[in-house]
Structure formats: C-alpha cells, structure tokens
Structure 1
C-alpha cells in the first residue's frame, strides 16, 4: 500500500502502490541529479551573500560614508524584500513556470549584483540591495519546487532536499573565507560580483537539465492579494528588526498591529478566491502545519545562536573575521552530515522521531554554549554550535520535505515559499529575542561596573553593547573591557539556557505530532497513516 495525497481534502488516503502512475514511481537519473547540482548553486549563493556583506561593511562604509540610517537599510533591505515576496514568487512560479521564474530571477540577481558592486552612493546601494532581495525571493521557492518535480520517489526526494538544504549553510560558512580573500586583494564591490559566475552557470545549464512545470488550471495572479501579503509581512519584519536594534517602541508596536490587521484581511480574501495567492486550506493538514511549526521555532534558536556565537568569537575571543569563519566550518560540516544522513535514516526510523532526536541533541548544544562564562574555549563553542547545526540540518531537510510533500503537486511552489518564509521569520525572531535578552543582561551588569569618573560619552558607549565598548577599547581604564566581555557572556549564557529549554520542549512536541508520518516503501510518498 502507498499513501497518496488527497487534493480535495488536503489529507492523505491509502491506495495500492501499483495504482500509482509509473511516471510518479520513476527513479531519478543522471539528468535529475545534474539538475540538482544546478539548483544547489543559487541556494549556496544566497547563503554566501549574507555573510559576505558583514565582512564588506567596514570598507563599504569608509567609501560610501552612509548615515546610520542608510547603513541599517543597506543591511536590512535585502531581508525585507526576500521575506515580503517569497509567497508571491512561490505562487507566481506555479503559474508562469518554475524554471522560467528561476531563469528570470537568476538574471535579475546578476544585474542587481553588478549595480550593487558599482554603486556610487549609499542610496543606490540600498536600491540594489532591495532588487537583490526581490530577485532572491524567486530563487528559493523555484529551486525547491523543481526538486519536487524532478525527484518523484519519496526517499530520493528527501535526500535531494537534504542536499539542497545544506547548501545554504555551506554558503554562509564559506562567506567569511571567500570575503576575506576578496577584500584582501580587491575593493568591497567584489563581494557582490561573486554572483556572476554562478548566475552564468544557472542560465546556461538550467534549460538543459531542469524540467519546466506550470500548475494546470491556475488563474491570473491576484495583485490585491500580493499587496495585502506585503502589507502583512513587511510591518511584522520591521517590528522584529527594530525591536532587536532599538528596543520596543510605539512605532514598532504600531507596525506589528498593522501587520496583524492586514494578515487577517489577507487570510479572509484567500478563503473566498477561486485561485488564491496562498491556499490557506494547506494549514488544515496537520503534517504541513506541524512541520512548519518545527521549522519556525527551530530556526528561532538557530538565528539567536548564529548572532551570539559570531559575536563571541570576534568580540570575546578577539578572532579576526576570517579566523572566526574558519572555526565555524566544522559546525557547518555537521549540518551537511545531518542534511544528507537524516533522509537516509528514514529507511528505518520515522522522520518525526529523527527530527525529535536531532532537536534533543541541539538542546545539548545550547547547554554547552550556556557554560561559556565558566568554561571558555574554542572547543566548547565548536562542539555546542556543531550540535546546534546538527539539529538545523535535520529539521531543514526532513521538515522542508514534509511541508512540500504534504501539499498537492500544483501547490508545491506555494508550499516551498511558506517553508522559506517561516525560516526567514524564525531567524529574524531569534535574533530579536535572544539578542535583546543578551543585551538587556549585559546593560544591567555593566551599570554596576561603570564608575562615575568615566566620561559620560564613554560610559554610555560601554553600557550600550559589547560591540560599542570594543570600539573605544583604547580609552577604557583597567579591565573594564574584560568586564564587558564577561557581562556579554553571562547574557549569552542566559539566552542559550532559555533556548535549550524551548528546543527540548519542541523535540517532545515534534515526536508526538509527527509520530505517524512515515516512509513506507521505495516507491511510496510521505504521508500520514490516517486522514488528518
């Protein structure tokens, strides 16, 4: 027997395996695996683009001299546009063709990268970064949806998605190394030009190795729904980022209220449309909703850990960016192992239990990081962060596959976009919550250590953050910088301890809610044992 998606109810029904069309039981060949290599490139590029900019920012700021507000928008415009347009682009790919949208997006990403590299002013760079975000929003859902078309056997699809999911982390891990080498020999704009050879390969090899897919029976794109989705997502992303950087304010709270209000209007409109931008009935499937929840809350911890570990290596241990990037390489390899190994383990163990076990190990990793005020050293950081990445690789591979395979084939683009959207939101929320908690504890401890004889401008700088204190290190008396490092580490310890408790709870919920989801036989699809 096999578990087949029932598109009318968005649940699963049991049907004889021999009744599944032969085309859907066909194993992938060299063309499909070659196509996966092509799809992995833009995924790695998006990860690379994140960490490259962090290294290029000091040189960029010295050249373009942006204001503090402009510098913030240079950093945030990319993420805003990606998060805002993911749902729209996922549905657009279903309607105009997933390969076509990937080709258009890749070409646009190349053009925007050139514009960013040669930006003469800060405002031009902000526009280019926004363009990169819109183009980037076409890449992730298109690549993931095409994988669902190319790999029809469940286990092959799970492995392909596992490989795909690890490429983003590999790109992020390679960013400091690639960026360091580029900035040592070239100007800051070279960091953006890395995209060009990758875009060239995708545009040449894509039409040869990738199939085209357009969902049948879809109507025109509802532009009002597009506007409503942006009005719902962008204010929420603004609230998260603004709260993380400046704390809760009336302006950010108003943005959150506006986002929630438009989200309600958006959902109501989707329920009455014949061809909605996002089919909200997908959430009626428990596998779909549970897997999305695991991705969202799992990525909250990862987003916070990524921020805190990066700062710890550079600001507490005083490692150069390139060296810090090298030490983050072994954890990235843990993610690769999990992303490829977890789908293979589903031959013997149900995916919900594998994800739960990986999350439990991830919780141990957060506990390791919480010990840093008392047991310092690179070994503990690498081990803890490696376990965090082990959990990330597992839930990214299996959780994403469960989301995509729980949706009807013609909704794969929309489901892929939802998967990416919740992961973007999870990382942003993690940075906001754990970053804010760490900063709050840091400030409280530093208020007790800053003496009254310290100049007011220096004391306010030291009390603000460890990053700010490090910028005036040569003007600080005694071991005040050491106290600042210790205060940050204590704040990091509290944040990671809280995360360990949350991830432990998530592991239990994951095992319970996904306990009936399984892969049964080589020619079967992911599904539930019963209609949800």
Structure 2
C-alpha cells in the first residue's frame, strides 16, 4: 500500500500543479481578447482617440510578444517558479490599476504592465511541465491541455467580457483576474518546485531592447499612418522600426545564446508551423475586434447578446484544440495544417454577406468554421515548437510558440485593424476617425449614420478578404512544401512502379 501510494502521489501532485498553472495561462490569453466587446463601453467612458483605442487593445500583446523569449531565457537561468510568482504578482497589480484607470493614457500604461508580467508567465509555465511530467506521454497530454487552455482563454475572453459588461462597469473585465491570481500565489509554492538550467539562457540586453523597440516603432508608424494619413513621421518611424528589427536578427546570428535561435527555421515543418501560430491569431484578433464593433455599433445589439453569439465559435475553437493532437497522430501535421488554413480562409469569407441591417447568422457560421482552424493552429504550434528544440533551453524554446501567437494577436489589430480604420477614414462621413466616435457626434442625420455604418462594413469586408487570401496562400505553400507522411509516400511509389513497368 505504501509503495502504491508513493507511485500515485507524484501523479496527483502533477495534475494538481497543472491545474494551478493553467490559471495564469488562461488569464494571459484571455486578456489578449477580453476587450474586443468592451471597447465601445470604454470609448464612451474614457473617450480615447482612434490611436489610443488601438493602443489600449494591442499594447498588451506587443509587450507580451516582445519579451516572451527574453523572460524564457531568464527563467532558464534564475528559476522558473520564482519568475512565475513575481509575474503573477505584477499581473494582479496591473489588473487592479487598469480597472480603475481614469484616463486612456493610464489604461494604456497598466495594460503594458500587464503585458510585461504576462511575458514572465507563459514560457515559465510551459517549462514547469517538464518537471511535473517527466514521462513523455503524460507530458504530451499536459502540453495538449496547456494549448487548449491558452486557446480557450483567447476564445472565451470576449464572451466573459461581454457577460461582465452586461451587469457591471467596464473595469470589471480586469478585476476578474484577481481571484485567479490569489489562488495561484497561495498554491503554487506548495505544488510546484523550482526549475532552472544553471548556465544556459544568458540574456543579451541589447537584443531585448532592439526586438521590443523595433516592434513598437513599426507598429506606431502603421497606426499613425492609418489614423492620421501618410506623412513623414509614420514613414520614418516604420523605416526605423524595420531597420532595428533587422539589426536584432543579425545580432542573433552572432550570439552564443540568442533570444531566438533562427537555425530552427531551417526545418520547413517548424517554419510553417510558427507562421501558423502568427497568421491565424492576426486574422482572429482583427475580425473578433471588428465583429464586436459590428454587432454592437452597426446592428445595435447589446453587449450580452453579442457575447452569446460568440459562444459557438469559442466552443468550436476549444474542442478543436483538444482533439487536434489525437487527429494529428492519424493524419499527420501536413494534413492538419492544410485543414487549418483552408477552414480559416473559408470561414472568414462567410462574413462577406453581412450588411448594415443584418448578418448575425453569417457571423456565427463564420466563427464556428474558422474556429476549427484556429484550434488546430494552437495545438500544432505548441507541439512542434516544444518538440523541435533542445531540452536544456525549454523555457526559451517553449516561448517561441507563444511569441508567434502573441505577436500575431497584436499585429492583427495593428495592421488589419489599421487597414479598416484607413478605409473608414477614406469612405466615411469624415466627422471622426472611428465609427463609435462618429456615432457619438451630436445631431446626426440618418443618411450620415448610414454612410458611417456602410464605411465600417466595407472596411470589415476588405480585412476579411485580405486575411482569407493570406491563409489560402499559406495553405498552398504548406501543400507544396511540407513533406508527405511516409505511409502516403510509400503508397504513391507503389502506384508509380507498375506505371513505370508498363512504360
């Protein structure tokens, strides 16, 4: 009995530890999307400019994405549990500050602080699984659950945000984080053990500065150009940002311990999988944000009604993420990536029939079909990234998958969201740079309101077409460039041999 208990105890501790770790994982991913339905309410309360509204949405994602790999390396060297505890504490403080922020500037600052803290949580949480689950099979199951939780957080963010806004003020979407953080801080020291890889993962400060600075400069230039028009300032900022990112890439090739090991991208499967982590999140974040505004500001639905309409897509995404590892074992990663990109492309196109007078059915159908592809992207990227890197750099390696997701999430709103903003500025009634600001203008006539809503829907449709074409293109690349499974190749060769004999 004693021996059996000794064998069972580590398994119980491991699963309880996983449950505790999933709390911060859910929060970090959820806070990347929870504001999609909340932005109209925040715009009414704080009156941010168009530029500030975009920064409120995606400064969090850029802070997370630009620092994930750096904090993964720090955790490898100085201890992942220590970093988890510190990050959770700062995340809670940032959430409390954001909930009661009186100005757009302070809200942006608190969201940035939450993003910095979130960057400490994800790579360390994924790396801790190596200590909790030394058995490869159980570790694979745990990583699948981790990916599902991360996907569920992104999908459920708008739903939870909409539900809270149906009863409380906009700050409640941030206060919901605090109970989870408190539970984690109470139980993590008991269930989790410190994990570190002594001499590995040394962090190069210049790499951290150039990666974060390059992303922020480039994004600011894109946002400024979309909101205020093309001028010398956004062009100069974009060029400077791209140049800084190029310097970052060149520096990584000369470092013994780079933040990003670009040699991993020589593997075609790994490269396409990481792009699959970025592009679907870009499409999802942009369309989720624009669709939230469409449902509320164009169709006039209540925030709770809009949240309920998002539930079927959230369910499809979560289920897809959970079942994908088992499906990949049967059909292979190549087929899974093809299904991912073409289902997203097809699902996005279902938003094209939406109009200023209706389209909720098309919206639900779009989120369900595209959600299947989004779920595949989460599961495949996490599994590929963790399996393709050396075990001694688990924190830094695991961060690559999460970086592609977070950067995609931020880039979607920054680039595709800015595209929609640009089209609205060019085609709208030219009263304000956003639809919500236009609708708040005094004494609006019905034709002006109609023109504003039509311009917004046009921008939504252009974004949908752009994202769909990108996914179709990446799916085609996957079809042509990824190797076929060995069984499929043998079948093909068996068919070719008789034909060669006949010839």
TM-score by length of 2: 0.83
For 1:374 and 1:230, the matched residues in 2 are separated by: 39
8 Å contact kept, 1:74–1:129: yes
Q: How does 1:461-472 map to 2 (within 5 A)?
A: 461=431, 464-472=433-441
**Residues 354, 188 of structure 1: alpha-carbon distance in 2 compared, 3 angstrom cutoff:** closer
1:502 aligns with 2:470: yes
Alignment partner, residue 112 of structure 2: 130
**Residues 327, 247 of structure 1: alpha-carbon distance in 2 compared, 3 angstrom cutoff:** farther
CA-CA distance at 1:248 after TM superposition: 4.2
8 Å contact kept, 2:36–2:289: no
Q: How does 1:92-107 map to 2 (within 5 A)?
A: 92-107=74-89
Choose the corresponding residue for 1:167, options 140, 144, 149. 149
For 2:54 and 2:291, the matched residues in 1 are separated by: 21
**Residues 146, 516 of structure 1: alpha-carbon distance in 2 compared, 3 angstrom cutoff:** farther
1:410 aligns with 2:392: yes
**Residues 239, 163 of structure 1: alpha-carbon distance in 2 compared, 3 angstrom cutoff:** farther
1:296 aligns with 2:278: yes
TM-score by length of 1: 0.79
CA-CA distance at 1:407 after TM superposition: 0.8
**Residues 79, 203 of structure 1: alpha-carbon distance in 2 compared, 3 angstrom cutoff:** same
CA-CA distance at 1:383 after TM superposition: 0.7
Q: Secondary structure at the match of 2:200?
A: coil
**Residues 50, 247 of structure 1: alpha-carbon distance in 2 compared, 3 angstrom cutoff:** farther
Alignment partner, residue 494 of structure 2: none
Once the two structures are superposed, residues 69-98 of structure 1 have per-residue CA deviations (whole angstroms, 9 ceiling, x without a partner) of: 766655554334223322211211111122
Alignment partner, residue 81 of structure 1: 63
8 Å contact kept, 1:83–1:233: no
8 Å contact kept, 1:80–1:237: no
Q: Which moved more, 1:287-296 or 1:242-251?
A: 242-251
Counting matched residue pairs gives 479
8 Å contact kept, 2:74–2:202: no
1:481 aligns with 2:443: no
For 1:498 and 1:377, the matched residues in 2 are separated by: 20
Q: How does 1:121-270 map to 2 (within 5 A)?
A: 124-151=106-133, 156-176=138-158, 178-179=160-161, 182=164, 188-218=170-200, 220-270=202-252
For 1:363 and 1:33, the matched residues in 2 are separated by: 37
For 1:503 and 1:42, the matched residues in 2 are separated by: 30
Alignment partner, residue 379 of structure 1: 361
CA-CA distance at 1:500 after TM superposition: 2.2
Choose the corresponding residue for 2:459, options 481, 488, 491. 491
For 1:232 and 1:130, the matched residues in 2 are separated by: 16
**Residues 267, 490 of structure 1: alpha-carbon distance in 2 compared, 3 angstrom cutoff:** closer
For 2:350 and 2:52, the matched residues in 1 are separated by: 37
8 Å contact kept, 1:338–1:393: yes
Q: Secondary structure at the match of 2:430?
A: helix
Q: Secondary structure at the match of 1:370?
A: coil
**Residues 114, 515 of structure 1: alpha-carbon distance in 2 compared, 3 angstrom cutoff:** same
Q: Which moved more, 1:299-308 or 1:160-169?
A: 160-169
**Residues 193, 484 of structure 1: alpha-carbon distance in 2 compared, 3 angstrom cutoff:** closer
For 1:498 and 1:76, the matched residues in 2 are separated by: 20
8 Å contact kept, 1:370–1:496: yes
**Runs (5+) with no aligned partner, structure 2:** 1-7, 488-503
For 2:48 and 2:33, the matched residues in 1 are separated by: 20
8 Å contact kept, 1:244–1:432: no
CA-CA distance at 1:217 after TM superposition: 3.1
Q: Which moved more, 1:35-44 or 1:180-189?
A: 180-189
8 Å contact kept, 1:216–1:410: no
